[in-house]
Structure formats: C-alpha cells, structure tokens
Amino acid sequence: MNKQLLLNWLKETNPQRLKKLWQSADETRKKNVGDEVHLRGLLEISNYCVRECTYCGINSAQTKIERYRMAETEIIECVQKAVNFGYGTVVIQGGEDYGLTTECIANIVQKIKHKTSLAVTLSLGERPFKDLRIWRKAGADRYLLRFETSDYKLYKVIHPQSTKTNRDRFVILKELEQLSYEVGSGIMIGIPGQSYASLANDIYLFGEMDLDMVGVGPYIPHPNTPLGSRQITFDINSQDQVPNTEEMTYKVVALTRLVCPQANIPSTTALASLNKINGRELGLTRGANVVMPNITSPIYRTKYEIYPNKACLNETAEQCQNCIHARISMLGRTIGNGHGNRKR
Ligand code: SAH
C-alpha cells in the first residue's frame, strides 16, 4: 500500500467503505496469524524515569506521583501469575530507570528463563547498546520501543533533549534487530501536532521496517504534563490535525494489519480506555491478535499512570485474566498457546 492510499483511508468517513476496511483487516489477520489471541502478561516494574516526554504522566519532571521500583522477589512473584494463568509471554515494562541496573535486569531475565518456559519481552526505554546486548544474552526474546512519530520536528518537541543519554529510536530498533530480538515498535494516534500525512508515513514505515510487533493506541492527554495541559501549542491547520479518537485508532490498527500481515498487533489498553465496553473486542476484529493483560499488583498499577482513566486500573491480575478470557471466547476466538512468536 502506498502512502497516498494510506492517507485516503485515514481520511475516509463513509461508513460502508470503512466497513470494507474492517473486513479486509480481519480477513488478513485470520489468513496470516489465525484465530488465536496471544496473551502477554504486562508487568510495570518501575515508574522512575530519566526522560521528560511531554505527553507521559510518569516523566521525570512529574512531582505529583509517588515513585516505586519493584524488588526482584516481587517481580518473580508476579511472573509466576503469568505462568499460572497460562500466558506464553511476560512483558517487563518501566520508565527509563537506570536504578534498574544492567545486572539487575539481566538477573531477572535469567531467573525467569531458568524457572519458567515464558518468552520475555523488555520495554525499558532507550538503553545503551551494551545493556541490550547483555539482556539478549541473558535470554530476553523481544524488545518494545515505539518510535511514537516519524515526524522528526514533532518528535523533538515531544521528547526534549533532557539528558546526554537520549538516543535515536530508529538506530536502537536496528540494533535490536542485529541482536536478533523480535522487534516491536509503534506510535500514538492523535498527538497534538500530528498530521495525517505524517501518520500515513508512520504506517508505511511499519511495513518497510518489517516489524515483528506493532503497538498503536490513542494519545490520551494527561493534565499534569506539558502536552496535556496545553503548555505546548502547535501551529497546525485543524484539517491536518489527526484526532485522537476511537475510530481513528481502528483505522490505524486495520491499516497496520494490511501493511504488516504477519505481525503481532495488540488491541491496546489505551484503546480499551476510550471504549471500556467493547474497545478491546473491536480492536481484535479489526486487525489485532494480541492482548496484554496487566499482572501488576493494584498497589503499583495505580502509580504507573502514563495517562489518566486507564482501563482496568483497580483490577487484580486475576480479574483481568477472567475478563479477557470471557471477552475473547465471546468473539469465537481461541487463546494462543506457547510463545506466540512472529509468524513467517
Ligand atoms: N519507558 C518505555 C515505556 C513507556 S510506556 C519507553 O519509553 O519505551 C509505553 C508507551 O505508552 C509509550 O511508548 C507511549 O507510546 C505510550 N504513552 C505514554 N504516554 C501516553 C499518553 N499520554 N497517551 C497514550 N499513550 C501514552
């Protein structure tokens, strides 16, 4: 699909034609990755962060939140839940927190790989090549790092150069590929200043980069951030600005499936936060094949507030597990077994 076609779809408003897009994405999903929905247990291990991402509620300038960093024993306890629930993967996510040392993450990865048969995905920000290499050696299978937007100017505005360790995310994604991780990236939809043309380019790049995993979700303003409180403004024509709506999110999920037929694509929590009734299900029937149930204990979960009004915020891992199982079986889909690696 070329950029012009992607752009046309992003601007499409005709319900009949959009129905065709949903159908086409759903068929492509079924043909390439089947009816299995893979579950990845998401563990939010730390909300400390050195970055000042202007959209994110846990950025380092944020003084109103209480910071936490889970101890290794707590992490291993939560990982055991993923095993008990039959999940094939655990996703270890956090702020870019150098208090999570190279060695401490390597030890945790090694322990999980030794004690369980889970695939391990890391999502810990723009860490140096050395860390990525050591963690891969320790057994980590996958790494998630969204490039957020391919519009370089917008990227600079929403990611102030706060520390010397800022790295180019596209370079890191290449490094991850060289280290033979399964590589995941993605974007937010409807960030202020995001144009339709740049969003079409983002989706085009997903295909060019041949990503193994692609996560896309709506931008949700956090009132205590520079972007959410409108301290930063953009001079963009209102017709060019992408809205951060539910429908736009489905368009991006569906188009992502069409450009990356074999990729693992989650129906994200941010999408479920916009439509708590059936956002997850609609994502799954418009291109997605993965769900990431949260396995973080409620005491920490509420503190990992990257955006407000998150779906499932006060639920326990057990509640998330039951709810997600029920939603998937209602769709007539099955729960995936094993690691659920990228199909080739
Ligand atoms: N520190 C890690 C993990 C960040 S949280 C990293 O930098 O990769 C994971 C994702 O949440 C981010 O990549 C971003 O796309 C998304 N996110 C952050 N703030 C958000 C907001 N206000 N609305 C929607 N998504 C947000």
The upper half-sphere exposure of residue 166, i.e. CA atoms within 13 Å in the direction of its Cβ, equals 13
Please determine, for residue 161, whether its predicted confidence score (pLDDT) is greater than 80: no
The average pLDDT across 120-134 equals 98
**CA–CA distances in Å: residue 84 to residues 78, 81, 97, 140, 334:** 10, 5, 28, 20, 18
Please determine, for residue 97, whether its predicted confidence score (pLDDT) is greater than 90: yes
Q: Are 214 and 254 in contact (CB under 8 A)?
A: no
The average pLDDT across 134-144 equals 98
The average pLDDT across 299-306 equals 96
Q: To the nearest whole number, what is the mean pLDDT of the chain? A: 96
pLDDT at 71: 97
Please determine, for residue 243, whether its predicted confidence score (pLDDT) is greater than 80: yes
Q: Which of 96, 306, 309, 310 to mutate to test the pocket of ligand 1 (most atoms within 8 A of CB)?
A: 306
Other CB atoms within 10 Å distance of the CB of residue 317: 23
DSSP percent split of the chain into helix, strand, coil, nearest 5: 40, 15, 45
pLDDT at 164: 63
The average pLDDT across 151-171 equals 87
Could you report the per-residue pLDDT of 165-191, keeping only the tens digit for each? Answer: 788 999 999 999 999 999 999 999 999
Task: Return d(Cα 322, Cα 325) in angstroms, integer.
Answer: 5
Q: Which fold has domain 3-331?
A: TIM Barrel (3.20.20)
Q: Which of 43, 54, 56 to mutate to test the pocket of ligand 1 (most atoms within 8 A of CB)?
A: 56
pLDDT at 166: 82
Q: Are 130 and 98 in contact (CB under 8 A)?
A: no
The secondary structure of 126-170 as a DSSP string is: S--HHHHHHHHHHT--EEE---B-S-HHHHHHHS---STT---HH
Q: Which of 167, 183, 188, 227 to mutate to test the pocket of ligand 1 (most atoms within 8 A of CB)?
A: 188
Cα-to-centroid distance, 217 and ligand 1 (Å): 9
Residue nearest to atom 11 of ligand 1 (CA): 306
pLDDT at 162: 62
Give the model's confidence band at 283: pLDDT under 50 very low, under 70 low, under 90 confident, else very high: very high
Give the model's confidence band at 224: pLDDT under 50 very low, under 70 low, under 90 confident, else very high: very high
**Closest ligand 1 atom to the C-alpha of 56?**
19
Residue nearest to atom 6 of ligand 1 (CA): 125
Phi–psi pair at 91, nearest 5 degrees:
-110, 115
**Closest ligand 1 atom to the C-alpha of 145?**
8
Cα-to-centroid distance, 292 and ligand 1 (Å): 14
Cα-to-centroid distance, 125 and ligand 1 (Å): 10
Cα-to-centroid distance, 188 and ligand 1 (Å): 8
Could you report the per-residue pLDDT of 45-89, keeping only the tens digit for each? Answer: 999 999 999 999 999 999 989 999 999 999 999 999 999 999 999
Task: Return d(Cα 167, Cα 147) in angstroms, integer.
Answer: 11
Q: Is 341 exposed, middle or buried (0-12, 13-18, 19+ CB in 10 A)?
A: middle
Residues contacting residue 104 through CB under 8 Å, at least 6 positions apart? 72
Please determine, for residue 27, whether its predicted confidence score (pLDDT) is greater than 70: yes
